Structure 1
Amino acid sequence: MSRRTVLPTQRTCGHTPPCPTAEDPDREAALLVASHPEQGWGLLCNGVVLFDDTGELLPDGRVVAPQRRTG
């Protein structure tokens, strides 16, 4: 049996001004609180895991596919 941990979607941000929440369109603007470049990801203070390929894992478990750049 597997267990799945879901992080809260709202985190209390102590930054001034407060960082965007995981639900905000500009959620990637939140401050980085843990960086693991050797593994290709970082954790933002709003609970979003941001991957080097621009994909995201939201605190509620939803996945945001990488954004392909054109041009």
Structure 2
Amino acid sequence: MCRHQPPCPSADRIDRGAARTVEFHPEQGWSRLCNGAIVFDDLGQLLPDGRIFPPGGPAPRQLLTAV
């Protein structure tokens, strides 16, 4: 559980990459975030529940504008 204030986004949120890095292994090409997600140098992600997001991952949400 995150003890940062404000708390880091959970691994199931789209902004999960904004969580703080708690382990950094540049020699192996990965980092572990506070929410348990593993982020690779190529920006692929492995979530704590086993889901995998390849480099490029899901498209970022776009803002909707009223016309």
TM-score by length of 2: 0.82
Query: Which aligned segments of 4 or more residues in structure 1 are displaced greater than 4 angstroms?
Result: none
How far did residue 18 of structure 1 move? 0.2
The aligned counterpart of 1:38 is 27
Q: Map 1:1-71 to 2 at 5 A.
A: 12-67=1-56
How far did residue 34 of structure 1 move? 0.3
Distance 1:26 1:60 in 2: 16
| Residue-pair matches, total | 57
What residue ranges of structure 2 are gaps of 5+ in the alignment? 58-67
Q: Which has the larger radius of gyration?
A: 2
TM-score by length of 1: 0.78
What residue ranges of structure 1 are gaps of 5+ in the alignment? 1-11
In percent, how many aligned pairs have the same letter? 58
Cα root mean square deviation, aligned: 1.1
**Relative contact order, higher structure (CA 8 A, sep 6+):** 1
